Chains A and B, each alone.
Chain A
Amino acid sequence: MAKHADLSIDFLGFKCENPFFLSSSPVSSSYDMCARFLDAGGGGVFYKTLTTTIPEECSPRFDAQRKEATPFIAFKNMEQTSDKPYQENLDMMKQLKEDYPNKLIIGSIMGMDEDNWEQMARDVTATGVDMIELNFSCPQMTYEGMGSDVGANLELIDTYVKAARRGSHLPLIAKMTPNVEKMEPSAEAAIKAGANGLSTINTIKSITGLDFDSYTALPVINGKSSISGLSGKATKPIALRFIANMAQDMNLQGVPISGIGGIETWEDAAEFLMLGARNVQFTTSVMQYGYRIVEDMISGLSIYLAEKGFEKLEDFIGIALKNIIPADDLERDFKILPQINYDKCVGCARCYVSCMDGAHQAIDWDNEKRKPTIKEDVCVGCQLCLQVCPVYDCITPGKVLFKEEDQFGKGSLSEWKENASNKRDIIVGMYDWI
């Protein structure tokens, strides 16, 4: 075996074996399901959200967003909270904690009113689980005043966190909704009211597609459909931005965050960790591929961290935050021209088409030789060509030019030079298949 780094990390006082968790969802619906994930190597589970009344569900309840021949890239889910009797769930959670004392077991609850929140918090605490997640964010609840309605309402958040706190001494984790412009106010309200940590994002309100015969959204439920939550790989960029915003928020410093949103691979997970999440949760990738995906998350992340020389995962958490800066603080006085490796170019002209119709008309196309050429004087260094090129390592970042300003300074006429007076080493980022 190669060298692997230790992945253990603390979360709200519990030493987790690794940062990989099932989110509270269809994949964590029973003792057996959770146990299978833990046996596959998972660090812990957020058990499927409990309500005291079993919700009625529709059929079918899923749809998938596809793109060309790829497996689905986003997933629409209309399922609500647990479909098992309340007491049965409490018993299973108790059994889980007893059988897996070293794994982090977190109960998840969603109340209807203050008393209900308090009572459920008390009941879940009595099972012996380690923490409680407060679900303020499910976007497909059929009852008013539940789910994501709460997450967008600062008063309700305050009331319900306090209610749960009355019922439990355990660490409370508020699960936040992304169906808001800013998550920070809701998160701050939860922490102020007594929550100890945050998990996010829950699913995004969506319509994935329409049916062309019944003229309704998918999935079709007897000719009708509803807006409901979107998850999966395509939601990751949105999730990452919420995580970064919260991790950088002055009022949320030191509040542990559990990251969720489109995690399939160890790289996806590592991205959340670099932005300050202390662990990650996933569901859609498990629905698609099964619990076994956690094996490659553990293997991939531990090999990467060992190779990078990280002694503990803690040192990796939030490592990218200092490099996420406001757009107006970015350096804007250089451009990186793309370069074409003609030994690899297959002459498809996709770079030419994209540059002509989607960028700055900076590529010449010789149709006879089927050869693209970069016009260096016109190219702005946007690198759209590099993004669309279908050949590995064919178009890569090349020469760096610097803006040499004339005596009138910024905003006036300027020239791009390789050896300008303000030349310096530029860090060139490129997806490098680590």
Chain B
Amino acid sequence: MSNSTSIGVKEGIDLKPKQGYLEETVPPYTPFMAMEEASRCLLCYNPLCSEGCPAGTNPGDFIRAIRFKNFKGAAEIIRSNNILGGVCARVCPYEKTCEEACARSGIDTPIHIGQLQRFVTDYEKTTGFKALDPPPATKEKVAMIGSGPASLSAAATLAMKGYKVTIFEEKEKAGGVLSYGIVPSRLPQYVVDEEIEHVTDLGVEIKHNTKVGRDITIDDLKNEGYEAFFIGAGMQVSATFDVPGSDLEGVTTALEYLAAARSSGGKSDIGTHVVVIGGGDVALDCATTARLLGAEQVTVLYRRTREEAPASRLELSHGESLGINFAYTFSPAEFQGENGKVKIVKANGTRSNSAMKLEADKVIFAIGQKPEDISKVVSDIGLDSKGFVVTDDKGKTSIPGVFVAGDVASGSAKTVVHSVQGGKIAAESIDEYLKKGGE
């Protein structure tokens, strides 16, 4: 992990992180380092790391390929299973998946599987190697709504089966949460752009600035010959809860805050004293963004303890190394303002009678997101009480020919890697549906 930040406590010491907002925190492996790390791998028989991946990647196979100097074979193993291999290498919570299962932990520390995956996907780029060789697109037309991880994964799976796939994206850039959410120091935009290129290289077309349900309807698309639809709309609305003073200027949501920073290259209104409410990776992304862009004081309020926080341990430690304050078991009670702008956050202990008062000119709700109204995209589609699309375990919705995966699907685990897997499964269902002639 990076130690490239320096937070001093004494006067005269530079208190600003040395790392830039757009600069990737973790430096890449060189081939020497990758070989060294792969040589630590015990090459277990039926390795448990390969059972730990939600997207079904086999680290046991690709690490062995690295170990036996078959870097391109390793790229093929990764990419043919996960079109977003380079993204997942950077944002996956490995410590809870493949690395947690690593047998090397019984000797010292687990193999840095994520870093090795990143090496291989970088290597693919450096050498211009094409790990996938798609068949000609001769089958039916399929429309994907939204261009986040689930859609990209489903689109790639379908393109590899010979379908003509078009992605409709309401925003200027494709990638969804990858381009508008996650902090660039964890996931630089060039990586997202390259991964999307892997998808378009397979023949998938992306129509930007086109919102299905507003600019074009499902019926229009049916008339254009699309025979199946995939909803990968993600969660477009930040959840908030009622805190007095929420309407003050300076109180915002994670999605707005991150999108503004990311799409402006870090030139948005960051705030000087920032309070983030939440304990997940999105909250951490907000706090890291604020800190890396120069906020003097960043405090994360989380209602439970560090151990209970859903954020990745790696991100928590990184946040701590950046000098972010973490106030566990605290929840906001009131926002006080001056001239309509937020100035003070009052917070109470959730498990004690403690109370505190924080100076704040920016308050960010990062307590989760929910989907926009999907019935405006596909009328009469079955939704659960929170607005997520109801689906079976194969991505089928209540409407024939309409499939769903990713964050917008009811009951899905809201991570990139789960979305990749959901997209793959839904693509298989679409294939099955179209093979049966749309039944």
Chain A interface (Cβ within 8 Å of chain B)?
1-3, 70-71, 264-267, 289-290, 292-293, 296-297, 299-300, 303-304, 307, 390-393, 433-434
The answer to whether A2 touches B68 (Cβ under 8 A) is: no
Residues of B within 8 A of A71 (CB): 39
The answer to whether A433 touches B31 (Cβ under 8 A) is: yes
Kindly state the separation between the CA atoms of A266 and B67 in the bound complex, as whole angstroms: 11
Tell me which residues from 96 to 150 in chain B have a Cβ below 8 Å from any Cβ of chain A: 127, 129-133
- B76 adjacent to chain A (CB < 8 Å): yes
- B164 adjacent to chain A (CB < 8 Å): no
| Interface SS of B by simple majority | helix
Residues of A within 8 A of B355 (CB): none
- B43 adjacent to chain A (CB < 8 Å): yes
Which of B30, B32, B45, B70 is close to A300, meaning CB atoms less than 8 Å apart?
Answer: B70
Distance (whole angstroms) from the CB of B410 to the closest CB of chain A = 34
Distance (whole angstroms) from the CB of A391 to the closest CB of chain B = 7
Kindly state the separation between the CA atoms of A433 and B124 in the bound complex, as whole angstroms: 12
Kindly state the separation between the CA atoms of A266 and B76 in the bound complex, as whole angstroms: 16
Residues of A within 8 A of B73 (CB): 296, 299-300, 303
Which of A264, A299, A304, A390 is close to B76, meaning CB atoms less than 8 Å apart?
Answer: A299
The answer to whether A266 touches B70 (Cβ under 8 A) is: yes
Kindly state the separation between the CA atoms of A293 and B68 in the bound complex, as whole angstroms: 8
The answer to whether B72 touches A300 (Cβ under 8 A) is: yes
Kindly state the separation between the CA atoms of A391 and B30 in the bound complex, as whole angstroms: 9
Contacts A1-B76, A299-B76, A434-B127 given; 8 further ones with Cβ under 8 A?
A1-B132, A1-B133, A2-B129, A299-B73, A300-B68, A300-B70, A307-B129, A392-B33
Which of A293, A299, A392 is close to B31, meaning CB atoms less than 8 Å apart?
Answer: A392
A-B contact pairs, 29 of them (CB 8 A): A1-B131, A1-B132, A1-B133, A2-B72, A2-B76, A3-B133, A264-B68, A265-B70, A266-B69, A267-B69, A292-B64, A293-B68, A296-B68, A296-B73, A297-B68, A299-B70, A300-B68, A300-B70, A300-B73, A303-B72, A303-B73, A304-B72, A307-B129, A390-B32, A391-B30, A392-B30, A392-B32, A393-B30, A433-B71
Which residue of chain A lies nearest to B73 when distances are taken between CB atoms in the complex? A299
Distance (whole angstroms) from the CB of A294 to the closest CB of chain B = 10
The answer to whether B80 touches A296 (Cβ under 8 A) is: no
Which of A1, A304, A391 is close to B32, meaning CB atoms less than 8 Å apart?
Answer: A391
Residues of A within 8 A of B32 (CB): 390-392
- B65 adjacent to chain A (CB < 8 Å): yes
Interface size class of B (residues with CB under 8 A): 20 to 34
Chain B interface (Cβ within 8 Å of chain A)?
30-33, 39, 43, 45, 64-65, 68-73, 75-76, 80, 127, 129-133
Which residue of chain A lies nearest to B131 when distances are taken between CB atoms in the complex? A2
Which residue of chain B lies nearest to A69 when distances are taken between CB atoms in the complex? B39
Residues of A within 8 A of B129 (CB): 2, 307
Distance (whole angstroms) from the CB of A273 to the closest CB of chain B = 15
Distance (whole angstroms) from the CB of B76 to the closest CB of chain A = 5
Residues of A within 8 A of B68 (CB): 264-266, 293, 296-297, 300
Which one of B64, B71, B73 has the highest number of Cβ atoms from chain A below 10 Å of its Cβ? B73
Residues of A within 8 A of B31 (CB): 392, 433
Distance (whole angstroms) from the CB of B157 to the closest CB of chain A = 14
Which of B30, B45, B70, B80 is close to A1, meaning CB atoms less than 8 Å apart?
Answer: B80
Residues of B within 8 A of A300 (CB): 65, 68-70, 72-73
The answer to whether A299 touches B65 (Cβ under 8 A) is: yes
Which residue of chain A lies nearest to B130 when distances are taken between CB atoms in the complex? A2
Distance (whole angstroms) from the CB of A340 to the closest CB of chain B = 16
Which one of B30, B33, B70 has the highest number of Cβ atoms from chain A below 10 Å of its Cβ? B70
Distance (whole angstroms) from the CB of B27 to the closest CB of chain A = 12
Distance (whole angstroms) from the CB of A307 to the closest CB of chain B = 8
Kindly state the separation between the CA atoms of A36 and B76 in the bound complex, as whole angstroms: 24
Distance (whole angstroms) from the CB of B359 to the closest CB of chain A = 42
Residues of B within 8 A of A433 (CB): 31, 71
Kindly state the separation between the CA atoms of A290 and B64 in the bound complex, as whole angstroms: 12
The answer to whether B65 touches A296 (Cβ under 8 A) is: yes
With contacts A2-B76, A392-B30 taken as known, whether A289 is within 8 angstroms of B43 at the C-beta atoms is: yes
Kindly state the separation between the CA atoms of A299 and B62 in the bound complex, as whole angstroms: 12
Residues of B within 8 A of A2 (CB): 72, 75-76, 129-133
Residues of B within 8 A of A266 (CB): 68-70
Kindly state the separation between the CA atoms of A3 and B135 in the bound complex, as whole angstroms: 12
- Can you list the 8 inter-chain pairs with the closest CB atoms, starting with the nearest? A392-B30, A300-B70, A299-B73, A296-B68, A296-B70, A392-B32, A265-B69, A265-B68
The answer to whether A303 touches B69 (Cβ under 8 A) is: no
Residues of A within 8 A of B30 (CB): 391-393
Distance (whole angstroms) from the CB of A266 to the closest CB of chain B = 6
Residues of B within 8 A of A390 (CB): 32
Distance (whole angstroms) from the CB of A106 to the closest CB of chain B = 25
Which residue of chain A lies nearest to B77 when distances are taken between CB atoms in the complex? A299
